[in-house]
Structure 1
Amino acid sequence: MSLSTASAPALSVTELSVRYPGPAGPVVAVDRVTLTVEPGGALVLVGESGSGKTTVARTVLGLPGHGAEVTGRVELDGTDLRPLDERALSRIRGRRIGYVPQDPTGSLDPLRRIGPQLTEVLLRHGIATGRGAARAAVPGLLERAGIGEPDRIARSYPHELSGGLRQRAAIALAVSCAPGLLVADEPTTALDAVVRSQILDLFASLRAVHGIALLMVTHDLTAARRIGGRVAVMRGGRIVESGEADQVLSRPRHPYAAELVAAGAGVAAVPGEGDRR
């Protein structure tokens, strides 16, 4: 069950700024960004490389990077995460915020089978009361991520799986503790068009069925349109336009957003239901 409540946004970011030390003085990566994601809703951050969208996502996770100077508020279900120390944040990551990286090897241990990795997460966050209960929950978690033959996949090492299955396993890991918020950083970039479409459908299912809110970072405008919800266009560390996905991606108002939409961000289209084989 999601921990989000109807009384507060799943995520609220207010006047967030992130600066890094540079040879000529501080470098501003994120400049006074404000955004919200409602329970079960979606916000997709789009923009070119270096626009600050990944920095926003990593700062939400409490991982802005070495030397970062962060100001502003990051609230999860109404609780400000910024004052928390690393120990407290590590309890929240995985339990209340799930993370799906661009490369699933960033969250999967290559030396361990998928099943034991899921078991360990359930035990670490107190979701299962014993190792036997944790093991019994693994097949259902893999099925929730759209994985057939869950018993076989649970016995597999990451390198024995296709790219799409590795990403599904990473998503299973990210949502294993029923977080209220899922942060996904370019989660479909390395996948072919058909698998990309299936992963986007999986995100939609997690939102609709389990009420998980989604903050997604992507340069793929077709994927952003497919996710729906709201879109925020970033440039130079700032949000230059935000609104409902259909409005921003079909009738952008800001000149940069219009250029981005016209260029299509140079990515291939994601096939619809009728395009699958």
Structure 2
Amino acid sequence: MTARAAERLEVQDLAVTHTTRGGDVRAVDGVSLTVAPGEALVLLGESGSGKSTVARTVLGLPGRGARVRGSVRLSGTELLTLGERALSDVRGRRIGYVPQDPDAGLDPLRRVGAQLAEVVLRHGIADTRRAARRVVPALLEEAGLTDPARVARSHPHQLSGGQRQRAVIALALACAPGLLIADEPTTALDALVRARVLDLFAGLLTERGIALLMVTHDIAVARRIGHRVAVMHTGRIIETGPVERLLAEPQHPYAARLVAAQPGTGGAA
């Protein structure tokens, strides 16, 4: 299945503020970035840096009561001013989302195939339930599942962690979106399954020409999948550049410490 249309993401001066008992907390502070079709931009940073908040805000899910300013444009469409109904249509059809925890993206009480068929039907990819069910095996196979018929019949708890993550990826790709947002999608996977999932993302970039926004704290993931890296710290992007250059010669002191602290980069483990 080819992408519905190439999408370009442009975020300009994005700020997200949460109100807490202790006062206002600025989770994202003036973030600007672009992701072009066929490109993977990696948001790299430690927990609490604001990278996941950026991803969720692009999806229109900044959190209850959050105050958002700035601009988030998807191929010219301003997302921050869309109503929930229009945003719901954008999510799935134009933007696919892969969460860190696959259990957060799957209904534990329903079979995986039924969940996929519902997404396809809701977004108009198929006209009838029977037609929707017919495309399910191909979607699961595209996500790298070698026994799609069994997976479609299964409830999430009957699948391994890697299989559940691939099922979530199938859900994200069901409507052939032009932009894919993946939030720490390999954190809970073992090394072999992680490599296979990253290979899947790499294939989507070259074969579909999607735009990919990848959120991670893992430099190995950034190096494997990214074209460009944006390092986040305390809600801001402090350095951005081509992946090989930035990871080899980071210019900002915090980015240099982050790279040096990762195993396999020449710093402490």
Q: Which residue of 2 aligns with 1:237?
A: 235
AA aligned opposite 1:150: P
Determine helix, strand or coil for the equivalent of 2:93: coil
Write the distance in 1 (CA, Å) between the matches of 2:264 and 2:140: 29
Write the distance in 2 (CA, Å) between the matches of 1:267 and 1:94: 37
Aligned with 1:121 (options 110, 119, 122):
119
AA aligned opposite 1:170: V
8 Å Cα contact 1:220-1:267 kept in structure 2 = no
Aligned with 2:33 (options 8, 32, 35):
35
Q: Which residue of 2 aligns with 1:272?
A: none
Q: Which residue of 1 aligns with 2:48?
A: 50
Determine helix, strand or coil for the equivalent of 2:20: coil
Q: Which residue of 2 aligns with 1:248?
A: 246
Determine helix, strand or coil for the equivalent of 1:21: strand
Q: Which residue of 2 aligns with 1:2?
A: 3
CA deviation digits over 1:219-259, x for unaligned, max 9?
Answer: 01101100021110000100000011111111111111100
Q: How does 1:1-277 map to 2 (within 5 A)?
A: 1-5=2-6, 10-264=8-262
Q: CA RMSD in A?
A: 1.4
AA aligned opposite 1:237: G
8 Å Cα contact 1:228-1:246 kept in structure 2 = no
Write the distance in 2 (CA, Å) between the matches of 1:169 and 1:96: 19
Write the distance in 2 (CA, Å) between the matches of 1:112 and 1:77: 35
Q: What is the deviation of 1:3?
A: 3.8
Determine helix, strand or coil for the equivalent of 1:94: helix
Q: What is the deviation of 1:113?
A: 0.8
Q: What is the deviation of 1:172?
A: 0.3
Write the distance in 2 (CA, Å) between the matches of 1:72 and 1:220: 28
Write the distance in 2 (CA, Å) between the matches of 1:22 and 1:101: 25
Q: What is the deviation of 1:24?
A: 4.3
The range that moved more, 104-113 or 17-26, is 17-26
Q: What is the deviation of 1:261?
A: 0.4
Write the distance in 1 (CA, Å) between the matches of 2:207 and 2:195: 18
Determine helix, strand or coil for the equivalent of 1:93: helix
AA aligned opposite 2:156: P
In structure 2, list runs of 5 or more residues that go unmatched. none
8 Å Cα contact 1:4-1:10 kept in structure 2 = no
AA aligned opposite 2:132: A
Write the distance in 2 (CA, Å) between the matches of 1:112 and 1:208: 33
CA deviation digits over 1:42-69, x for unaligned, max 9?
Answer: 1110111111000000000000001111
TM (normalized to structure 2)?
Answer: 0.95
8 Å Cα contact 1:37-1:43 kept in structure 2 = yes
Aligned residues: 264
Write the distance in 2 (CA, Å) between the matches of 1:171 and 1:245: 24
Write the distance in 2 (CA, Å) between the matches of 1:232 and 1:117: 34
Q: What is the deviation of 1:95?
A: 1.1
Write the distance in 2 (CA, Å) between the matches of 1:76 and 1:225: 26
Identity score, percent:
65
AA aligned opposite 1:47: G
TM (normalized to structure 1)?
Answer: 0.92
Runs of 4+ in 1 over 4 A off after TM superposition: none
